[in-house]
Amino acid sequence: MPQILTAALYHFATLPDCEALRGPLQAECERHGVRGLLLLAPEGVNGTIAGTAEGVQAVLAMLRAQPPLAALRHKEAWGDRMPFYRMRVRVKREIVTLGVPGVDAARDAGTYVKPGDWNALIDDPEVVVIDVRNGYESAIGSFARAVRPDTRSFTEFPAWVEAQTAPGGLLAGKPRVAMFCTGGIRCEKSTALLRMQGFGEVYHLEGGILQYLEDMPAEGSRWEGDCFVFDERVSVSHGLVPGTHRHLCRSCRMPLGPQDLASPDYLPGVRCPHCRGTRAAGEERALAERERQMALARQRGTEHLGARLPTPSRAGPVAGSAAQDHGPGPAQADASLPVLYSFRRCPYAIRARMAIAASGQRCEWREVVLRDKPAAMLAASPKGTVPVLVLPGGRVLEQSLDIMRWALAHHDPAGWLQAGEPDDVEALIAACDGAFKQALDRCKYPERHPEVPPEAAQSQARAWLEGLEDRLGRSAFLCGSRAALADVALMPFVRQYAAIDRTAWQSLPWPRLQAWLAAWESGVLFEEVMHKAPAWREGQDVQYFPPGQARDSAA
């Protein structure tokens, strides 16, 4: 009989003192052996926890004892295994990140529609039905008549709404709107966004798609296909039974159905019909090798960690020893150092290198040619984007912010992690990486986005940058009197926008933002970070980052 109870929950409510709740809630979870993740924010709570029935109920009771959370509801599932390794209670700016200030789902959310009444609503041709999930989710199933924005993340949704409310857009004139998502949290917040923008009649499916599939029989249902879920099932259908999409492509992470698996374009771990032709032959060979290593690990009963694969041309010295030159041949790598795969001009890689250089952390530096990505990098990180940091123990950091935080956790001489309010810093970075990055790409590469007028992309980008100018009018840096993680994380993207047309940049009425960027660009740290390095090739002499650091000698 299953012994582990998993509870998924969220509730929008005004929770002003969530920081005071974090510690006691963490302690209560640990006291009862409950694991998982709970997010607290001024707008409410969101998360999933697991443990014994008594432990989970005790934590839920503690949450409901807070008056704003008294109406908290949750969904339960039983299992034989603990799905989490630890318990984390985190305080954030938002419980689901949209990146738009002022959206209040507790106050402004649209009208709930129960699953039994949903068909009648979406059958109305005057109602615009919107699937607010990401493209990889909606690709395998959705409601009939639903519009799919095909976003890559929820933070891109506001930009889609802005584009569609323009004259000629789907939402021009503010029609009646019905919205849905997997479990309800994203569509609930999305309805508040539309209400804030003046939409009058905005509806959302109570309990999300999962509740509809649980309550409604297949006969007469308006649902078509499978519903993507974020667990080992991959997808479900009516009655919440497993759907036909039961696998994920390990190359592009798209859900795969029987037709995909039977396709000649499908090669496990290497490619699928969705990503066929998107990788170079060398990348596919690296992915095939990674798949082979994983199969061998499964046979041995061990786990493939995605670490660097040993090569016959290079063998690292004993961990902790100094790297030594060996005549005209390639220098040996120091196995005690992380390996950084980077590309000089990539803004994500720049932010990661800024943090590494500031921390003084020494790395083996492998500068990547994006059209010819090295097999060693793809073996460690098949997603094929930079930066990638491979730690000595085999752990792989694939996100620039993870690399920044890792480096600064070791040494943060300028106090970037401590500066600014954590929620403000996190929200600012999320907005940059979401809506602003999307607008930036459309400004920089208008030919790739013919569906978006260039002036609309410029308007969106400049509106966001004006907000940074306003911030710098109140303080010396974006989040206060000292440079914070947000300043370092945003700088490469502001720089990329300025580089589109430097003359136009200097003519804009943003003297504070221009001075802020110029100060970063003229600094010694940035000069070191932008040092040009030759492209890395297997077997060449080892390069180290930061480039200004001398090689260590044996102690």
Residues tagged active-site = 181
Task: Judge whether 510 and 469 are in contact, CB under 8 Å.
Answer: yes
Residue 387: asked if its preceding bond is cis (omega within 30°), the reply is yes
Q: Locate tokens 């990348």: which residue?
A: 283
SS3 of residue 400 by DSSP: helix
For residue 152, give every residue at least 6 positions away whose Cβ sits within 8 Å of its Cβ, in sequence order, or none: 134, 135
- Polymer length in residues for the chain: 555
Q: Please say whether the beta carbons of 375 and 286 come within 8 A.
A: yes
Helices (H), 166-199: 185-196
483-502-436 Cα angle (round to 5): 55
**Residue 241 is encoded by which pair of tokens?**
């039974």
Torsion of CA 399, 406, 529, 367, to 10 degrees: -50
Contacts of 90 by beta carbon, 8 Å cutoff, 6+ apart: 22, 37, 38, 39, 40
- Could you tell me which residues come within 8 angstroms of residue 144 by beta carbon, excluding any fewer than 6 positions away? 122, 222, 223, 224
Alpha-carbon gap, residue 80 to 362, rounded angstroms: 44
Tell me the C-alpha distance between 487 and 91, whole Å: 21
Helix H or strand E encompassing 130: strand 127-131
Contact status, residue 259 vs residue 364, Cβ threshold 8 Å: no
Which residue from 160, 161, 45 is spatially nearest to 96, judged by alpha carbons? 45
Calculate the alpha carbon distances from 208 to 2, 142, 147, 169, 551 in Å.
26, 12, 16, 26, 57
29 close to 96: Cβ distance less than 8 angstroms: no
- CB-hemisphere CA count at 13 Å for 492? 24
